[in-house]
Amino acid sequence: MPPEPTPRTAVRRLPEKQVDDLATLHAILDEALHASVGIEVDGQPYVLPMACARDGDHLLLHGSTGSRLMRALAGGAAVCVSVTHLDGLVYARSAFESSMQYRSATVLGVATQVPPADKVRALEVLTEHLLPGRWAELRAPLAKEVAATMVLRVPLAEWSVKVSDGFSEDPPADLEQPVWAGVVPLRLVAGTPVDAPDLGPDRPVPAHVRDRDRDR
Amino acid sequence: MPPEPTPRTAVRRLPEKQVDDLATLHAILDEALHASVGIEVDGQPYVLPMACARDGDHLLLHGSTGSRLMRALAGGAAVCVSVTHLDGLVYARSAFESSMQYRSATVLGVATQVPPADKVRALEVLTEHLLPGRWAELRAPLAKEVAATMVLRVPLAEWSVKVSDGFSEDPPADLEQPVWAGVVPLRLVAGTPVDAPDLGPDRPVPAHVRDRDRDR
């Protein structure tokens, strides 16, 4: 159920690009390996890249319990989590109309710590999102590892999504310009896996790594 | 000349990943098509994806003169500009040591408007950064287009860079784990150009578009 835009999430610029269905929000978050997390400390905004994963109607973030910004987030600071996928470069007939294709999601709110009883499951969600298929073949987390990790969740309650997926909308007079116009698609792709230098014998690349993102 | 880290830019977490040479900062910014721009309004941080381009010792941003956040930035609000390149997924022998390869730059400061006399040149820098080779073949910007565009610059004075480019550093006991370890490289690639549906005849794809990013 998409929320009504609040004064803080209503898109003012290019409102025709605002999308309000939850499926699109989820798709954008589910494709993201990292988010840009905004927080204000002493009058200065900070933006940090952090790994992320959606867990139902929350977004999970994690970091060290020693991190100053993780502690500020856990302490109830207002947060903005932003995810952007660049999908293409839009070549218009003028610099002014040139733009990019993108899908972006913004979530506002307050993060809370995932309670201890749910932390290992949340770490599994994060790991499986970032490294699908990996969790089952790894040893269980050690108690000290879990204790050293803070896992936060931000409710997907106040959010906005913008999608720009078309070509340029040049004014009629510009269509005569003697230039090509179109889109150059952009895509984040996974390359060939590289063995760790200290990899022991008989440790083949697993199928879930070898075939990663092949279908994107 | 790299600045001394200030209390605001000294990297607290994983300080061994902090890099302080200007060439690395420039390389990270010069590869970025967009930045995540953080600003605080009424106690709420906001993070917006914006196209960006480096112009010497400044970072350029642009947007509509009607944008509330552009006006807040031009009005002297503290800003944080964050650029992140994800370079790889690091498969460690435990979930705890699993991570990502990345290069990230954070610039703190205050933006100022590019003065009118320098605006077209700044728009050329932005356009040529995002669409190399395009400016020369486009018509000149119209006065009304320039007037409708706000161009901001943020000095590269207070910044930090983090680079994570290695493999996992698993504790010795974990090296016996019967799992593959290594890195899956990630790369943003340009695909085959797609003609605009309203493209006229005799408008071939120019070489600067066709060969875009082929050498990355």
Q: A52-68, pLDDT tens digit by residue? A: 999 999 999 999 999 99
Residues A6-46: tens digit of each pLDDT? 667 766 666 777 888 999 999 999 999 999 999 999 999 99
Q: How confident is the model at residue B20, as a pLDDT?
A: 86
Nearest-angstrom CA–CA distance, A52 and A30: 9
Cβ atoms of residues B139 and B127 within 8 Å: no
Contact between B197 and A167 using a beta-carbon 8 Å cutoff: yes
d(CA B61, nearest CA chain A) in Å: 13
Give B 29-88 residues with CB within 8 A of chain A. 33-34, 36-40, 43-49, 51, 63-64, 66-68, 78-82, 84, 86
CB-based contact (8 Å) between B164 and chain A?
no
Residue A2 inside a domain? The answer is no
Residue A181 has pLDDT above 80, yes or no: yes
Q: Is residue A51's pLDDT more than 90? A: yes
Please name the member of B40, B127, B175 whose beta carbon is closest to the beta carbon of A45: B40
Query: What six digits make up the tokens of B2?
Result: 């790299």
Q: How confident is the model at residue A5 (pLDDT cuts 50, 70, 90)?
A: low
For A153-209, give the DSSP string: EEETTEEEEEEE-S-----GGGGGSSS--EEEEEEEEE---EE-TT--SS-PPPHHH
Chain A nearest-CA distance from B116, in A, is: 16
Does residue A181 sit within a domain? Answer: no
List chain B residues with CB under 8 Å of A63.
13
Q: Which residues pair with B41 in a beta bridge?
A: B44
Q: How far apart are CA A118 and CA A124, in angstroms?
A: 10
CB atoms within 10 A of CB A186: 20
Q: What is the pLDDT of residue A216?
A: 44
- Cβ distance A205 to B199 less than 8 Å, yes or no, reads no
Is residue A193 assigned to a domain?
no
Indicate the range of A96-100, A135-139, B64-68 predicted with least confidence.
B64-68
B185 neighbors A191 (Cβ within 8 angstroms): yes
- CB contacts < 8 A, A to B, total 287
pLDDT for position B211: 86
B46 and A106 within 8 Å at the Cβ level: the answer is yes
B9, B14, B17, B36: which to substitute to probe chain A, counting the most A Cβ within 10 Å?
Answer: B36
CB contact A130 to B (< 8 Å):
yes
Q: Is residue A28 part of a domain?
A: yes
Which residues, given as ranges, of chain B have pLDDT below 50? 1-2, 215-216
Q: To the nearest whole percent, how much of chain A has pLDDT over 90? A: 88
Q: How many CA atoms lie within 13 A of A189 on its CB side?
A: 12
Mutate to test the interface with A, among B13, B47, B144, B199 (most CBs of A within 10 A): B47
Q: Is the pLDDT of residue A49 over 80?
A: yes
Domain that holds residue A76: 15-171+201-210
A215 pLDDT exceeds 60? no
Report the CATH number at residue A125: 2.30.110.10
Q: How far is CA A157 from the centre of its chain?
A: 16
d(CA B106, CA B161): 6
**Is A55 contained in some domain?**
yes
d(CA A47, CA A135): 29
- A69-84 residue pLDDT tens: 999 999 999 999 999 9
Nearest to B194 among A44, A170, A185 (CB): A185
Residue in chain B closest to A205 (alpha carbons) equals: B180
Predicted pLDDT at B215:
44
Cβ of B6 under 8 Å from any chain A Cβ?
Answer: no
What pLDDT is recorded for position B12?
63
Sign for the CA dihedral angle at B108, B11, B40, A30 comes to positive
pLDDT at B109: 98
* pLDDT for the residue numbered B17: 78
Q: Is residue B122 part of a domain?
A: yes
Query: Is residue B5 situated within a structural domain?
Result: no
Q: Is residue A185 part of a domain?
A: no
> What is residue A16's predicted lDDT score, i.e. its pLDDT?
74
Nearest to B86 by CA among B163, B8, B171: B163
Higher-pLDDT residue of A3 and B147 is B147
Q: Does B186 sit within 8 Å of A190, measured CB to CB?
A: yes
- State the total domains in chain B: 1
For residues A144 and B167, give the distance between their C-alpha atoms in angstroms, rounded to a whole number. Answer: 22
- The helix, strand and coil proportions of chain B, stated in percent and rounded to the nearest 5, come to 25, 40, 40
